[in-house]
Structure 1
């Protein structure tokens, strides 16, 4: 029994000596090793975390971020500029970035959408989950208890200013603000990454195609842009005597010049039983006659 205990102690001492003699790898050296980073990159390339590739469908169009900073809607669901990356910033707040352009989706104080290379406080949106699988996005900077500025598109695909006071419901304006998000298949993202790397647009790998932004680094926008207002329609004045009618004045027609309306024709129709009914036959206008011929 004593020999067995001595043998076990001797074996454990040999193992301890072998382990203590092994060189210990430095963790910082592994982080700086390019081959190790490449291996981790290959193993984690399919993981996106909180950042998901989506398409945003608004007002019968797909939202796209063009390289020149223009943001509009398109009917082409195969466009590379419609692939967006949604990432969570805070609870209920997200940032949206174009995968092909690396530009951030932003909303200015006038309610106009634009794409920016810099990640500013105008590029943070409040995400609200609505009914029927729709979402609404409002500006985190220009929304408060008094009013809410929404991300919206009009029927032509351009930015539309939608600002609601207080807790007033959207009502009919919801047709311009409702967003249907659809996830982009990984195969489409992989093909886009290969296309961008081949063209030289992005030198980084596909899951790091856009340069990462340091956490909590948001540029504050201080310039207050004055929104453009619609020009009021100027009323035309009456033309003076002897003055021809133009864009600045209009002539008032005299009673003799105005065409007289024909009075409706009243017809009395009686059936064989002696019951009579009065009917009013209104004259058909000339333009309506033309449509009736066709």
Structure 2
């Protein structure tokens, strides 16, 4: 991080930008989101000093990802829009589609589902035209989330199933696991809890292999919800407690507290009809860093 700040010196601007790009993936994976914002801002300044508008667009896009992960959703949307217009200005259609994908997914956070679907559909069309299968998978993973929130559940299932296939074809097992996570949620909403559990277990196994502790926590949280709705409170409680442990390992204090609260509610002798535990904490399944398939459904 200190090295990226050397971008203040023009002779280091290009190197500082490149370093920030490599560092962004690590910071996103380990959820050091505040650090990601700092590095992203430094990269923006470095790109401007180097006079490289394409690199500046990439820096805005990465900054948006970190802003969303810190909960600064509207700032993230504005950062993605800056990236979109800069990509367009230099004729980078694929980059503009990456930014559009991130705009669409983040608009879903604030309930603007129609606008979200339009942005994601436009991005999907671009990647299909250019044959970019990996980025198409990322868009499909994000689009499936929005479709599920809109109660277009069958479309959500079909969309994310295709994302799994594409990630398998392109050899990205980690992001394939995040698509499996989304597939589990879609199957549960479609009334297929057993298949949903199997999908989540697929996601969990790969997340553990890659030491994606936050991904493990998210998937276990969803598993708890599936078990709770299926009338299996003991399994639900066990899943939520395990989710809390993984969230602790990821440094996600608030998410861990939500998981433990869900476990307490399920373990208490409350009357029938008690409130359903909170929805899973927001996390990207996959807004992208370098392609629309990168990051998931905090991705």
Normalising by the residue count of structure 1, what TM-score does the alignment of the two structures yield? 0.21
The structure in which a higher percent of residues are helix is 2
Structure with larger RCO (C-alpha < 8 A, sep 6+): 2
Normalising by the residue count of structure 2, what TM-score does the alignment of the two structures yield? 0.21
The structure in which a higher percent of residues are strand is 1
